[in-house]
Amino acid sequence: MANRNIYIVNNAVNNMINKVINALEKNKEGLTITELVKITKLTKCQVRTELAFLLGAKEIKERKIGMAKLYTLK
């Protein structure tokens, strides 16, 4: 995993963020929320929360493809 400058106090939240980052690192072409839910075994709400955090931290990119959004690491 790339060295990321994200500071998280809560280990449970850090674990969820790492699951999302690891999934995106393994899928360079990007993933949808549905694909991230299947890979990470997190709920849709948890995945959306972590994606919002990573978008705010400018660690990932979001691209619309029709109705879907594709997420990739920067």
Q: For the chain, give every domain's residue range.
A: 11-73
Amino acid present at 28:
K
Task: State pLDDT tens for residues 19-55.
Answer: 999 999 999 999 999 999 999 999 999 999 999 999 9
The residues that bridge with 64 in the sheet, in sequence order, are 69
pLDDT band at 5 (very low <50, low <70, confident <90, very high): low
Statement: residue 1 has pLDDT above 90: no
Strands (DSSP E) contained in the chain are: 60-65, 68-73
- Cβ atoms 4, 18 nearer than 8 A: no
pTM above 0.95, yes or no: no
pLDDT at position 61: 97
Considering the segment(s) 11-73 as one domain, its CATH architecture is: Orthogonal Bundle (1.10)
